[in-house]
């Protein structure tokens, strides 16, 4: 067995450790892997081009980043904070609990990209949660403000992670189905997704309690 093609993994690890350009590192590793596997240079380049062409739709998601940057430049976060400040009864605990439920439900319906850190948490959810905390508890120490922002990001993670498995066509469900079938336990994806519902409910309750506990703790810190 020829182990030389595995040298591409070492190139990737070394390149990232030395903080070289990631795109350059990946391309060099791919070319080195192909050459060490015995391929000619032209087929290696053809394989790279074909892979890029087949997966070019992935790069479309990056278009949203400059759009969000422009929105933030023109006051998106300030607008989000102002909206929360104008709402009576808005608290950090209520806001994040509602977002947790929204994230889980949309992920369970297959709309897992409707939220996320770059497109939702940073420009909207985190500023709104921070504004709600400041509105309820007044000025907070910097460490406590950071905890509010961290809880906003964690809420998105929990909502997505425990919600997406309810959608029977998600990759994780299909992976589990393949593993179970290879072990002699044929299951339909829908059967697996149904068993994800109790876990999602427990995750909502547990993380919801964590959010409320942080909200109460912020009040004690202020006091």
CB-based contact 68:119 (threshold 8 Å): yes
Q: Is residue 106 very low, low, confident or very high in pLDDT (cuts 50, 70, 90)?
A: very high
Q: Express each pLDDT in 54-83 by its tens digit.
A: 665 555 556 666 777 777 777 888 888 888
Residues 6+ apart with CB under 8 A from 111: none
Q: Express each pLDDT in 151-209 by its tens digit.
A: 999 999 999 999 998 888 777 777 888 888 888 888 888 888 888 899 999 999 999 99
Residue 211, SS3 per DSSP: helix
Of 116, 120, 197, the C-alpha closest to 160 is 116
Q: What is the Cα–Cα distance from 145 to 55, expressed in whole angstroms?
A: 40
Please give the backbone phi and psi of residue 101, each rounded to the nearest 5 degrees, phi first: -65, -45
CB-based contact 147:214 (threshold 8 Å): yes
CB-based contact 80:127 (threshold 8 Å): yes
Exposed/middle/buried for 145, CB within 10 Å: 0-12, 13-18, 19+? middle
Neighbouring CB atoms inside 10 A of 183's CB total 8
Structure tokens at 169: 């066509």
Q: Where are the domains of the chain?
A: 4-54, 62-222
Of 158, 166, 154, the C-alpha closest to 111 is 166
Element housing 201 (H / E): helix 196-222
Q: What is the Cα–Cα distance from 47 to 53, expressed in whole angstroms?
A: 10
Q: What is the Cα–Cα distance from 139 to 141, expressed in whole angstroms?
A: 7
**Poorest-pLDDT segment among 20-29, 55-64, 89-98:** 55-64
Q: What is the Cα–Cα distance from 113 to 67, expressed in whole angstroms?
A: 16
């Amino acid at each position: 067995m020829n182990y030389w093609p595995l040298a591409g993994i070492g190139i990737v690890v070394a390149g990232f450790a030395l903080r070289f350009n990631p795109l350059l590192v990946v391309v060099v590793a791919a070319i080195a892997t192909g050459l060490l596997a015995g391929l000619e240079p032209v087929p290696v380049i053809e394989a790279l081009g074909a892979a890029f062409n087949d997966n070019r739709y992935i790069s479309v998601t990056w278009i949203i980043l400059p759009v969000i940057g422009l929105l933030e430049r023109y006051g998106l976060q300030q607008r989000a904070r102002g909206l929360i400040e104008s709402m009576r009864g808005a608290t950090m605990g209520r806001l994040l609990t509602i977002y947790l439920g929204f994230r889980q439900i949309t992920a369970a319906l297959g709309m897992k990209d409707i939220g996320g850190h770059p497109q939702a948490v940073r420009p909207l959810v985190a500023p709104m949660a921070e504004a709600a905390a400041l509105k309820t508890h007044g000025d907070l120490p910097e460490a406590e403000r950071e905890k509010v922002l961290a809880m906003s990001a964690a809420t998105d993670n929990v909502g997505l992670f425990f919600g997406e498995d309810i959608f029977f066509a998600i990759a994780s469900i299909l992976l589990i189905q393949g593993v179970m079938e290879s072990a002699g336990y044929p299951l339909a994806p829908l059967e697996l997704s149904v068993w994800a519902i109790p876990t999602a409910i427990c995750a909502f309750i547990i993380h919801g309690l964590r959010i409320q506990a942080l909200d109460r703790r912020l009040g004690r810190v202020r006091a």
